[in-house]
């Protein structure tokens, strides 16, 4: 797995924008209370069990803010942590450590939250061959970081952008049907007009649509918001002729039931759009304890 979610320049540009948002003209409080020459040490601590994601961003935050701050990581991205474990130590100017605290923690809490939730879903379906995949339901501008966190949690990235392939969704079908175009015809039209390198995926909601998409030569059938019993019927109908993906309404409580239907992949928007932030803290040590 790649050790960085973005090329260094892009990552540092993103971090610089975050720092400008949070500390546009310096940390007024720290500047008023602490001597600029004061040195400090801080521990970055997991306050709950989690899957770590964002250490590489932590490094970038302080590399951009002040290279005089040394970041020493005891754990790497993708590793599981238990509550109470210190996974990184900072050493350097107190002004800089405090100035980057919120930005660093925001990235760590968000990305580790995604990785942690993904790991929980992955554990639920470990006995089945179905692949756990993410969606494009990400915070604008943070997609690659968030999908990287999914991968750290054991998920698989797909459909990074609308440029990656043909994805015929319900709104396309509404407009096509108004013009008298069937799902079958839509698939064939897409194949005629799009390069063979792109797969054609069709979102279907019932068995009639499954048959039409198969007849149209779809490469992937996305079974959307179907209950497990109907998904199983669709899988039996498809008989391995094409890749079967299921999505919609999938939770930690029912994901195992969906995996047992025989689908090839399970896409879950909640991995990125609803992952709860984990509890991570940055604890500065008193100067006297250094």
Residues noted as catalytic: 102, 137, 169, 203, 224
CB 280 within 8 A of CB 45: yes
DSSP letter string, 224-269: ES--HHHHHHHHHHHTTSSEEEEESS--TTTHHHHHTTT-SEEE-T
CB 121 within 8 A of CB 268: yes
CB 239 within 8 A of CB 249: no
User: Angle at which helices 55-65 and 101-124 pack, to 10 degrees?
Assistant: 170
* Residue partners of 228: CB distance under 8 A and separation at least 6: 254, 257, 258, 260, 261
Nearest to 269 by CA among 244, 243, 249, 245: 249
Pairing mode, strands 280-285 and 243-247: unpaired
CB 200 within 8 A of CB 179: no
Q: How far apart are the C-alpha atoms of 113 and 277, rounded to whole Å?
A: 5
User: Angle at which helices 55-65 and 8-22 pack, to 10 degrees?
Assistant: 70
Six token digits for residue 244: 């079967």
CB 79 within 8 A of CB 51: yes
Grouping H, G, I as helix, E, B as strand and the rest as coil, residue 18 is helix
């Amino acid at each position: 797995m790649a050790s960085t979610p973005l090329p260094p320049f892009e990552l540092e540009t993103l971090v610089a924008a975050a720092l400008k948002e949070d500390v546009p003209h310096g940390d007024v409080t720290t500047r008023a209370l602490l001597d600029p020459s004061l040195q400090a040490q801080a521990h970055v601590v997991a306050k709950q069990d989690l899957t770590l994601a964002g250490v590489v961003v932590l490094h970038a935050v302080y590399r951009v803010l002040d290279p005089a701050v040394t970041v020493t990581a005891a754990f790497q991205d993708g590793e599981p942590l238990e509550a109470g474990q210190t996974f990184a130590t900072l050493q350097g100017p107190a002004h800089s450590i405090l100035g980057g605290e919120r930005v660093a923690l925001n990235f760590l809490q968000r990305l580790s939250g995604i990785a942690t939730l993904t790991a929980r879903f992955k554990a639920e379906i470990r006995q089945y061959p179905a692949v756990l995949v993410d969606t494009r339901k990400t915070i604008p501008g943070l997609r690659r970081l968030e999908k990287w966190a999914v991968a750290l949690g054991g998920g698989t990235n797909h459909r990074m952008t609308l440029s990656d392939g043909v994805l015929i969704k319900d709104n396309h079908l509404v407009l096509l049907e108004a013009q008298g175009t069937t799902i079958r015809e839509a698939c064939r039209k897409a194949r005629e007009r799009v390069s063979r390198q792109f797969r054609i995926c069709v979102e279907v909601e019932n068995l009639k649509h499954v048959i039409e998409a198969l007849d149209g030569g779809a490469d992937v059938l996305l079974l959307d918001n179907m209950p497990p019993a109907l998904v199983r019927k669709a899988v039996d109908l498809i008989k391995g002729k094409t890749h079967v993906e299921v999505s919609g309404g999938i939770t930690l409580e029912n994901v195992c039931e969906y995996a047992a239907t025989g689908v090839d992949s399970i896409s879950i928007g909640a991995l990125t759009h609803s992952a709860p932030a984990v509890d991570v803290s940055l604890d500065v040590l008193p100067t006297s304890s250094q």
